[in-house]
Chains A and B, each alone.
With several copies, the nearest count.
Chain A
């Protein structure tokens, strides 16, 4: 009898329905972020490019949704090849079953896999803001397959891959760089890929600097920001891979940092531009969510306010800087995700362990040392992302081309790439 209880107990301690429920719910939430992003970006472009812009995000879901299952997950999280990339043991999800896996003791391995799939989906979608309103659709399809394989999978592996015995196997993870929910893997990664694309490959949109390119639909932007905020609870609190103290703490700081970042962005905008804008509020929210991402399981509420306020201000300035440099990062991906991610990664080093009881800093590592590790993490992911993205895009540029013709750009991508208009007249 006691035997039986113990057995059932053990099983219960292994597989936990509450944890599984939370990770599944979180996976759904993170999936929703990509349609959210579609609207965040779709609202910002001009009328003639709305559907094409939305399509970029939607295609990320479709393409990565399949690629991840086929080989992406194995490369990113499979048994390591020298800490650099996973091997192909788990190709087609071979051996990735519904029993708890190496990554989480209380949920099915596939739950972890699909949760990670959602991260792999949104990351390339984030990049698309850099070449919005001028990317060729056919090239985009190829780009996303290559990028996921050559950029996302390795970086995810460096930071998050584990051995079967539960020790880190990726080189950055082993080193001790902290990234709770994807500051480096997702945001710095996407941000620096965006910079490479906008600065060195695509060039500026026709009319950049002379024609207004105002958001065609501000409510769509806020809808997107709202869905992103909502989904980000899954992103960060889901990264606890369980429904307990850690998830709760991550949830709390996520909300708080985002709120503070709205205030930060609006404050500086109010001073600089004389009026606080609605697009600014939405942008600030995203900046704050980005910055808290790497820190979300490591800090308490008060640091999260500082991280958020900082993100609002720093990202605002970063976006202005890009504009000064006349780099047409059309929807400000680098300023918000790249720099927001860098700020978050550094702030994680600074504040980790403060105001939080469920986690404590690894002993014997000083703040300065941790900051150093964070810098390594930032540099490695930013560098790899920038360089490899550049190579991929240049290869495409000089073969099939990455940019639509000038006439197609003038007509708009909706008509030229998809032969449909977003809205009917009359």
Chain B
């Protein structure tokens, strides 16, 4: 099984999660993060302080654990839904998950995904 972590623009969360559901991937979790990437931060100024480049921008990280074979489909779905074509669209990281357990039933492995 694979874990797919996608760091996306916060405003794309709805689109991504709807697209995933449509593609059959219901299970996921999301968390607010701040991130820094190629995207240049915006210049912000607090009332009494000099303008500063805010390089850590608000993003959302979603995590989806899926069966090996679904990985590409999920990557594809996320990429399409989250893309604006501008810098700052985010990244997807794929890693291996050794086991999955459903707490309610104790089921393990792919059936628990």
Judged by CB atoms under 8 Å, the answer to whether A and B touch is: yes
Question: Which A residues contact B (CB, under 8 angstroms)?
Answer: 44, 48, 129, 207-215, 273, 279, 283, 319, 322-323, 326, 328-333, 335, 407, 410-412, 419-421, 425-426
Q: What B residues does A332 contact at CB under 8 A?
A: 47-48
Contact with A44, one of B18, B47, B52 (Cβ below 8 angstroms)? B47
Q: What A residues does B30 contact at CB under 8 A?
A: 426
Q: Are A330 and B48 in contact (CB under 8 A)?
A: yes
- Output the least CB separation between B3 and chain A (Å): 20
Sample of 13 further A-B pairs with CB below 8 A, known A207-B14, A214-B54, A215-B47:
A48-B11, A208-B49, A208-B50, A212-B54, A213-B52, A319-B47, A322-B48, A328-B49, A330-B48, A333-B48, A410-B12, A425-B32, A425-B56
Chain B residue nearest to A322 (CB atoms) is B48
- Output the least CB separation between B64 and chain A (Å): 16
Q: What A residues does B78 contact at CB under 8 A?
A: none
Q: Cβ of B44 < 8 Å from any Cβ of A?
A: yes
Decide if the interface of chain A is mainly helix, strand, loop or mixed: loop
Q: How far is the CA of A319 from the CA of B47 in the complex (A)?
A: 8
In this complex, the interface size class of chain B, counting residues with CB under 8 Å from chain A, is 20 to 34
Q: Cβ of B80 < 8 Å from any Cβ of A?
A: no
Q: Are B44 and A420 in contact (CB under 8 A)?
A: yes
0/1 string, B50-75, CB within 8 A of A gives 1? 10101010101000000000000000
Max chain B CB contacts within 10 Å: which of A209, A407, A411, A425?
A: A425
0/1 string, B1-41, CB within 8 A of A gives 1? 00000000011111000100000000000111110000000
Q: Cβ of B110 < 8 Å from any Cβ of A?
A: no
Q: How far is the CA of A63 from the CA of B85 in the complex (A)?
A: 39
Q: Cβ of B112 < 8 Å from any Cβ of A?
A: no
Q: Cβ of B46 < 8 Å from any Cβ of A?
A: yes
Q: Contacts A421-B58, A426-B32, A426-B60 given; indicate if A209 touches B44 (C-beta within 8 A).
A: no
Q: Cβ of B96 < 8 Å from any Cβ of A?
A: no
Q: What A residues does B94 contact at CB under 8 A?
A: none
Q: Are A211 and B47 in contact (CB under 8 A)?
A: no
Q: What A residues does B84 contact at CB under 8 A?
A: 407
Q: Contacts A207-B14, A211-B14, A426-B34 given; indicate if A326 touches B50 (C-beta within 8 A).
A: yes
Those 3 A-B pairs whose CB atoms lie nearest each other, nearest first: A410-B11, A332-B48, A212-B54
Q: What B residues does A273 contact at CB under 8 A?
A: 45
Q: Contacts A208-B49, A425-B58 given; indicate if A214 touches B44 (C-beta within 8 A).
A: yes
Q: Cβ of B97 < 8 Å from any Cβ of A?
A: no
Contact with B48, one of A211, A328, A411, A419 (Cβ below 8 angstroms)? A328
Q: How far is the CA of A38 from the CA of B14 in the complex (A)?
A: 27
Chain B residue nearest to A330 (CB atoms) is B48
Q: How far is the CA of A410 from the CA of B14 in the complex (A)?
A: 10
- Output the least CB separation between A140 and chain B (Å): 19
Q: How far is the CA of A283 from the CA of B47 in the complex (A)?
A: 8
Contact with A426, one of B12, B13, B45, B52 (Cβ below 8 angstroms)? B13
Q: How far is the CA of A273 from the CA of B43 in the complex (A)?
A: 10
Q: Are B52 and A210 in contact (CB under 8 A)?
A: yes
- Output the least CB separation between B91 and chain A (Å): 18
Chain A residue nearest to B13 (CB atoms) is A426
- Output the least CB separation between A264 and chain B (Å): 16
Q: How far is the CA of A149 from the CA of B70 in the complex (A)?
A: 61
